[in-house]
Amino acid sequence: EYGERLQVRLFEDLAHARWRDIEGLKHARITQALGVGMERVTGAASLLLHSAVSLAMLAAQWLMTLLIAPAVALILLAVAALGAVPLMRTLGGSSALGRHISTGSVSLVHTTSQLLGGLKLSFAQNMQPAFVNEYAAVARELKNRQYAFLRDYSHRRAILTLGAALAGALLLFVGYVLGTTIAALLAVFAIFARMNAAAVSFVQSTMHLANDAPAHADLTALFAELEGGRSLSWRR
């Protein structure tokens, strides 16, 4: 429903915009926003909800740990804070890739529309190879950047899994040294196992969210350009 409302709103803005406000807009930009861009925006909205749920689960599970073994819970919080530092750098890389995907997909649509809009001229002047080379170059660049994102994503997931195993061992050791009862340690370890699953889900969602978020920024900018010229009778 969210995506449908955005699509209809964008089409309405386009249909009622003043000519001077849309004259300079690339047709490919509109086409990309109504297609792939809109899918990425709705995907980002879904990922935002998923991240919020995972974060709420982590908070509730940490509070349970705090009630059972306060010292262990504080150590767990410190470990999570340390893990947040490399995650923020990763999110920056994911966001940069998302911006490249947005610009690259617009370039692909633009090249395609240029070829289809001037087929007769292209055949007459033998321009087809130039269009093909331009399209292939952009597609190759997008593929390489997506591979880089997937490699980084896999590395982060492996590091998170290894870090969780080490953190679990550390928690058990520290809890034992501090005199935590065996029953409490077992309960904390069971909660920690569930927290690990929620943490992995949170990291995955936030990385993909950072990757899709630039599409929302592009759509917001497009709305601002189109709605700036809407007549007062059309505003609501």
What confidence tens digit (pLDDT) does each residue in 137-193 have?
A: 877 887 887 787 788 778 777 877 787 778 778 777 877 787 778 888 888 888 888
pLDDT at 60: 92
Residues in the chain: 236
- 3-state SS, 35-82, equals HHHHHHHHHHHHHHHHHHHHHHHHHHHHHHHHHHCHHHHHHHHHHHHH
- CA 161, distance to chain mean position in Å, is 21
pLDDT: is 41 or 137 the higher one?
41
Q: Is the pLDDT score of 87 beyond 80?
A: no
Q: Is the pLDDT score of 232 beyond 50?
A: no
Average pLDDT over residues 34-42: 85
Looking at every residue in the chain, the average pLDDT score rounds to: 79
Q: Is the pLDDT score of 62 beyond 80?
A: yes
- 3-state SS, 179-193, equals CCCHHHHHHHHHHHH
pLDDT: is 224 or 234 the higher one?
224
Q: Is the pLDDT score of 46 beyond 60?
A: yes
| Helices and strands, number each (H, E), in the chain | 8, 0
